[in-house]
Amino acid sequence: MVTIQDVAKAAGVSPMTVSHVINEHPHVKTATRQKVLVAISALDYRVNIAARNLRTGRTGTIGLAVPELDRPYYGHLAALITEAAAEHKLHVVVEQTGATRESELRALALSRNRLYDGLILATVGLGAADSDLLRVDHPVVILGERIFDGPVDHIALPNVDGAQTAVTHLIESGCRRIAILDAAAPEAPHPDDAAPGERAAEVNVSTLRHTGYRTALAAAGIAYDPALVTGVERFTMRGGAEAATRLVESGVPFDGVFCVTDTVAMGALRAFATLGIRVPADVKVIGFDDVPESEYLVPSLSSIAPDHDETARTAVRLLVDRIQHGATGRPAREVVSGYRLVARETTAG
């Protein structure tokens, strides 16, 4: 391994001078600079980032931790954040947490974070109950469901409002029996049903969007029918296809479906095609996320489009601010992303 010392020796100067050249400090004679540059390229010298990092405490890199890399939503997010970070001259590296609460906490706590100047953590497994665990001393921005009064900066997706808008759109398109495909296991009670003082069920993407669904129904005077709620094992295409198939096989009539994510909707659309159910003629479908694929599906998928670009930019901006002004200085901020309804063929008249 060729070090800065080797370069110094080769150029006939001190290591310090080499350092000055590398870091483009002004007070180096041009002739000296040239000698050093020649030596650097002759020896193919590269600075040792680990050493520099140890000395300076900065890496110029931020981490992005996402639940799963092979879901369009996160791929898109990663691309946008990479772009936004570049404007701040920061590199982005992405890692996969695995979509469980434990793994997300691990990503957060891992000493590895020392290799990043900051971390953007996209969560699905963390709940409001984990608030305390989010208290870390390095710059972190959480991207995900709503965690009120959390100790870290946090960008919340417009889950409730977005879902309500989606379902309202189905209603306005003429649907009356609207099914929902969302997370399977813990039956999410409607907030209104919770006994006073009782802790609400875990807050996550699914329960929030479920809430929006119920709110929209209620606003339109449509009764909530548990038979129309179908659980999705995982928020994947396969999960969506299986859930949609179960919904159809249950025999319960429905004329609209709100899918918790576009990926789930893609699975559902496929299942409907297989079962001979026409979209949008027989059933209208809407998703959430507006992943790039949605526009190109046949039929193209209506969706709720959070302002991804703005979200990415805000996440990076908040993080950069923490990096520059200290992780624990200012109180935590919460930002809710904007969104818009994108009506496409799956909800066409």
Partner DNA sequence: TTGTACGCGTTATCAG
Partner DNA sequence: CTGATAACGCGTACAA
Chain residues in the site for DNA (CB under 7 A): 1, 3-5, 13-17, 19-20, 22-23, 27-29, 31-33, 45-48, 51-52, 54-56
| Residue 325 contacts which entry, DNA, a copy of itself, none (Cβ below 5-8 A, type-dependent) | none
Round the CA-based radius of gyration of the chain to a whole number and report it: 25
Measured distance CA(257)–CA(263) in Å, rounded: 14
- With residue 154 as reference, give the H or E element that holds it: strand 153-156
- Closest CB 326 distance from a copy of itself, rounded Å: 13
User: Per-residue x/- mask for a copy of itself, residues 113 to 152, rule CB under 8 A?
Assistant: -xx-------------------------------------
| Residue 75 contacts which entry, DNA, a copy of itself, none (Cβ below 5-8 A, type-dependent) | a copy of itself
- Closest CB 139 distance from DNA, rounded Å: 17
My answer on whether omega of the bond before 196 falls inside 30° of 0, hence cis, is no
Q: DSSP of 41-82, one letter per residue?
A: HHHT----HHHHHHHHS--SEEEEEES-TTSHHHHHHHHHHH
- Closest CB 24 distance from DNA, rounded Å: 10
Nearer to DNA, 11 or 286 (CB): 11
Tokens of 243: 């859930």
User: Per-residue x/- mask for a copy of itself, residues 23 to 52, rule CB under 8 A?
Assistant: -----------------------xxxxxx-
Residue 6 touches a copy of itself, criterion: CB under 8 A = no
- With residue 102 as reference, give the H or E element that holds it: helix 101-109
Among 3, 28, 43, 75, binds a copy of itself (CB under 8 A): 75
Tokens of 78: 């990663």
Tokens of 58: 């900065």
Hey, which residues between 290 and 329 contact a copy of itself (CB under 8 A)?
A: 292-293, 295-298, 300
Q: Are 34 and 224 in contact (CB under 8 A)?
A: no
- Closest CB 160 distance from a copy of itself, rounded Å: 27
| Cβ count near 108 (within 10 Å) | 23
Q: Are 265 and 255 in contact (CB under 8 A)?
A: no
| Cβ count near 230 (within 10 Å) | 24
Hey, which residues between 192 and 251 contact a copy of itself (CB under 8 A)?
A: 237, 241
- With residue 63 as reference, give the H or E element that holds it: strand 61-66
Nearer to DNA, 4 or 315 (CB): 4
CB burial readout 115-134, b (16+ within 10 A) else e: ebbbbbbbbbbbbbebeeeb
Interface with a copy of itself by CB under 8 A: which range of 103-111, 123-131, 320-328, 336-344?
103-111
* Residues at the site binding a copy of itself, with contacts judged by CB under 8 A: 46-51, 53-54, 59, 61, 63, 68-72, 74-76, 78-79, 82, 91-96, 109-112, 114-115, 237, 241, 266-267, 269-270, 273, 292-293, 295-298, 300
